[in-house]
Structures are given as structure tokens and as C-alpha cells.
Structure 1
Amino acid sequence: MSEPSAPRASSPDAPGAASLVALRGVSYAYEEGPTVLSGLDFDVVAGRALALLGRNGSGKTTLMRLLSGGLRPAAGGLTLQGVPVSYDRKGLTRLRTTVQLVVQDPDDQLFAASVEQDVSFGPLNLGLPDAEVRARVAEALAALDITALADRPTHLLSYGQRKRTAIAGAVAMRPRVLILDEPTAGLDPDGQERLLDTLGRLRDAGTTVVMATHDVDLALRWADDAALLTPSGVRTGPVAEQLAHRELLAGAGLQLPWGIAVRELLHRQGLLPATEEAPRTPEELAHLFTPSPARRAP
């Protein structure tokens, strides 16, 4: 099977693209360290679930912190719905009511005595009325399925519960963009499925989700688009196209996803039409070869 041509970096001017948050010509280097990102253009498009992939040290965390205002570009700028972001109190408040970042380790984010107190911290800092804060907290706890944990001390939570609490704290800010750093890391399979179900509900409710992950199979299953951080820059496009390109995957330190490898094998064996999408899960693969009721009928 011939390998697809290298996809181009996404264009903010593509028809139908509506960037909520964008980096334009951004460069960043840590003090006394090498340049991590240089001349970067990057868009978070409304309504598109985006997987951010790359090897350790490729700049994923730096990119996420630039998008959320935790870092300020050395060159270039950040825009929010086309308007440049200022890094004063007013500008950052505007950004953080639209974009929320949840870090990989929930213990770096949780600090209040109870779940409810922790989730209420952000809305309280916005100066919202008590009734509005209570409504947002209740909504976020319900969205993450942790209402029963509202009064639980945070230090008594399991790892998965701490992850969900950290995400609930971000959701309580009602962001339009939710950025998650390795959200499934450290979770057992059941915990991963529950979290993915939750993210699906948030997406259905209108939240644009960006997820950094090393798991190419998860990215293929979950995302609409994939952004691969490679030595030649960031390459963004539809997830199945991006994750079928071996050269890009190698540059990002990644392997071919299971579903893409299965699709290529089935194509070579003449068992799957060339137009058929890759199965994203074992269940989808089984469904492809399950006889329809009409075929099973005598």
C-alpha cells in the first residue's frame, strides 16, 4: 500500500475553520535553555477534538501553557477569537474564562480541603455571586460524576477521583476550550473509559477539547484532528490521515496505531475496500466481519 503524501500544517484561513485560540509566529525558550518552539502558527478550532502528540521534550507542555496563558511568548502572540491577548489582569482573566488547562498530575492542581471547595476556587476568584458559584460547582461535579464526593477531603481521594476533581475545577469555569495533559495516564481501563465518556459529554455540550497524549490508539479512537510535534514543526490534520504517515510518526517518536496497521493489512489482503476507514477499536474490527442478519438467515 502506498504511503499518503505528507499532510500540510493546518491553515487558520481554511474554509469553515473557526479558531477559538491561536498562536501566531510564536517562539519560546526557557531561561538558559534551547529554543523549544520557533515561528509557530497553531490553531484550536471550535468543535474539533484535537490530540496533541510528540516525543518527550518536543514542546507539548510548553505549547499547552502558551495556549492557556501560563507562559508568555518571547516572540509572536496569542489571540482569542481573533483578538490579541494582553498579559495584564484583565487580559488573562478573559483568556482563562475561555481556556482552561488541566495538568497531568492532579496533585499539582488540587490544594483545598474538600472536593467542593477545590472546584469552587476558580468561580469564586471571578467574583461571581454565591448562587452562581454553587450552580457552577454542582454542574461541574455532575458532569464529572463526582457529586457524591463533594464533601470528601481531597487527600482521601483515589488517583482517578483526584483526576476527575481537577478536571471539574476547570469545567466549573465553563471554558470553551479545555486542554488536558495526559488525562488518562495512571488510570485503569475502567477509569479511562469513564473519563472518555465524560469528555464525550463535554464535547456534545459544546466544549472544544485538546488532549496531549502518547497513546496513538487513543488519539485515533477519540480525536477529530491530530497535531504532531516533529523536528520540522507542528503538522496538524485529520487524525486518520496524520497517524497513517510513517515519516511524521517517526519524527514525533511514535508508532503506527493498531487500527491503521490493521486497515493496511486488510487492504493488502483484499478484505477491506480502500475507501473504508480504519477500525478504531477491536469492537469496530469485529463489527466489520460480523455477518448481517440478512446474511445469516437461511
Structure 2
Amino acid sequence: MTPPHPTTSQGPAPVVELVRAGFAYEDGPPVLEDVDFAVAEGRAIALLGRNGSGKTTLLRLLSGGLKCGRGALLLDGAPVAYDRRGLTRLRTTVQLVVQDPDDQLFAASVGQDVSFGPTNLGLPEDEVRLRVREALEALDIVALEDRPTHLLSYGQRKRAAIAGAVAMRPRVLIMDEPTAGLDPHGQERLLDALGRLREGGTTVVMATHDVDLALRWADEAAVLSPAGLRTGPVADLLADDELLADARLRRPWATAVARLLRARGLLAPDAPEPRTPEDLDAWAGAGSL
């Protein structure tokens, strides 16, 4: 078994971590090789990469849905045991929300679906009801508790699926393309809900193709390319033209605007870059541009 990495003075120890991880599907080439990926408490991490780069596979390795072919998955510094006890411990710490909510919702009503996980943990009925209520409030869908899941809109189904994961009170919430298929209003409502979860102490990892969303929302980025996985501050990685080209990602809108402003002397070299159109509006209103 691969030994855990020692804790460093650079920051908090990871909650969950892949160490030199590799994986290949049966009779297929390696999807991931020698991947090191640590998820520390309290972060918002955007996982980016082209189609087929291995993002979904990486998320499933982190959540225990797949087992590393090489390397190890660590939880609080210790290797995960892939038996019932070990996986239960992992899944009460790390929860995965898949891209299509219809692959996750199965109960007759929203409340029943959200209660499934806590009930399976053997929690008392009062505790289950409390967790369901908290999750529904966090995702702003209390009014949908008794609604049949098949009558929900797509955005409502997305939030109901996330609520089911939140009811497990995970320390790390992992989501695969959570904003895919949502209109702008639906995206904003979802991001507001994720903001409330982060304020409550939940670490969020989001796989997305949207570089503008990643720059606006995340603290850190993890970019998968043919050269491997690179991690770091989101603004630094998404300003690296060579990395973006290798990963087949476009330059974020805000990064392109900042370069233009600096080239014309309208933005100081050491000034923070805008991340949203609202940032530009605020700076213009304050006479900064």
C-alpha cells in the first residue's frame, strides 16, 4: 500500500487525497496515471479538462465509486478500506452528485429521496427529519418536500439530487457538471445554494467545462491534460496559455479583458483582475477604469 504523504506547513492536511493514482477500464488504455490530487478543508475547487480527459473517473475514484488500479485513496491521511465499514466512513465524508439528476433520484417524493441516505445510516427518525429539513433549506427547495420527483423541472431535480447528498452532512461535496443544462437563472440559484453550503463549512469540488464559471467561483483549479494533472490557484492556471491549449480549454473572458486593459494602461500590472462583468461595472462606477 502506498504510504500517505506527510502533512506540510503549507496548509491544512487533505480531507481526501489521491496519491500516485492510476485507473483503466477493463480491456482499455489507462484513463489516469500517477495522479496526485488533494482536497483540503474549506476550499472550492474547479476540475477542468476536455471530454474524455478523465474528470468523471477522477471524481468516482475520490468518492469510492471506483477503486484505484494503482496508487491509493487516502481519507484523513489513512488508506481507504474498500469493505463495508471503510466505504461507509468514506461516503459519510465524501458525497458525489452525478451530472444527470435522473440517475440519482428514485423515490416518489423529494422528501423521501433526500431522507434515503440518512435513513440507511440507521439514524433516529428525528435526526433524519432534521437532516432533510436542513438540506432542503440549504438548496432552497423546502416547498418541494412533498412534490413528486417526476413533476420537478430540470433545475429543481438538480437541486433535489444535491440535497440528497447534503443530507449526509459530508465534509466534501463532489459534483459532476452541476450547471450543465441549466439556464442562467437556474445557474445563479444553484451557485447561491453552493455559496450557502461553503459558508456552512462544506468543501466543494466541481467538474465543469465552463472556464468563466471556474474563474468566478473557485479558489483553486485542477486541470487535466495529456501531460497529467496540474493544480493551483484558479487565476494562475487559467492564465497559462500553454496549459489551456494542451487541455483544449479556451481563455476565460475575464482574463482576456484584463490583458486588454493592461495593454492599454487602464489596469495596473499589480491590480486584481476582474472575474465577472459586475466587477467591471463596479470599477467603472468608482472611476477605476
Kindly indicate whether the alpha-carbon contact (under 8 Å) linking 1:219 and 1:226 is maintained by their aligned counterparts in 2.
Answer: yes
Q: Report deviation, 1:286.
A: 1.6
Change (3 A) 1:201 1:90: same
State the match for 2:83 in structure 1: 88
Deviation per CA, 1:72-104: give whole Å up to 9, x if none: 011111001101100000000000000000000
Q: Secondary structure at the match of 2:285?
A: coil
Task: Report the Cα distance in structure 2 between the residues aligned to 1:67 and 1:13, rounded to whole angstroms.
Answer: 21
Give the 3 Å change call, closer, same or farther, for CA 234–213 of structure 1 in structure 2.
same
Partner residue of 1:8?
none
2:137 maps to 1:142: yes
Deviation at 1:249?
Answer: 0.7
Residue 252 of structure 1 deviates from its aligned partner by 1.1
* TM-score normalised to structure 2 length: 0.96
Q: Which aligned pairs between 1:181-220 and structure 2 lie closer than 5 A?
A: 181-220=176-215
The corresponding residue for 1:276 is: 271
How far apart are the structure 1 equivalents of 2:9 and 2:206? Answer: 22
When residues 257 and 12 of structure 1 are mapped into structure 2, their CA distance, relative to the original with a 3 A threshold, is farther
Could you say which residue in structure 2 is the equivalent of 1:58? 53
**Alpha-carbon distance between aligned partners in 1 of 2:109 and 2:30, rounded to the nearest angstrom:** 40
Contact 1:68 1:95 in 2 (8 A): yes
2:94 corresponds to: 99
Q: Can you list the C-alpha shifts for 1:35-63, whole angstroms capped at 9, x where unaligned?
A: 00111111011111000000000000000
1:123 aligns with 2:123: no
Aligned 8 A contact 1:12 1:43 in 2: no
Question: Which structure 2 residue ranges, 5 or more long, are not aligned?
Answer: 1-5
The one-letter code sitting in structure 2 at the alignment partner of 1:97 is T
Give the CA RMSD over aligned residues: 1.3
Provide, for residues 161-208 of structure 1, a one-character-per-residue CA deviation record: whole Å limited to 9, x for no partner.
000000000000000000011111111111100100110110010000
* Alignment partner, residue 16 of structure 1: 11
Partners of 2:152 and 2:268 in 1: CA distance: 48
Aligned length: 283
Moved over 6 A (4+): none
Give the match for residue 254 of structure 1. 249
Question: Structure 1, residues 140-170: CA drift from partner, whole Å, max 9, x if none?
Answer: 0111111111111000000000000000000
Q: What is the match of residue 146 of structure 2?
A: 151
Structure-1 residue corresponding to 2:285: 290
Q: Please list every run of 5 or more consecutive structure 1 residues that lacks an aligned counterpart in the other structure.
A: 1-10
> Deviation at 1:14?
5.8
What SS is found at the alignment partner of 1:100?
strand
Identity of aligned residues (%): 70
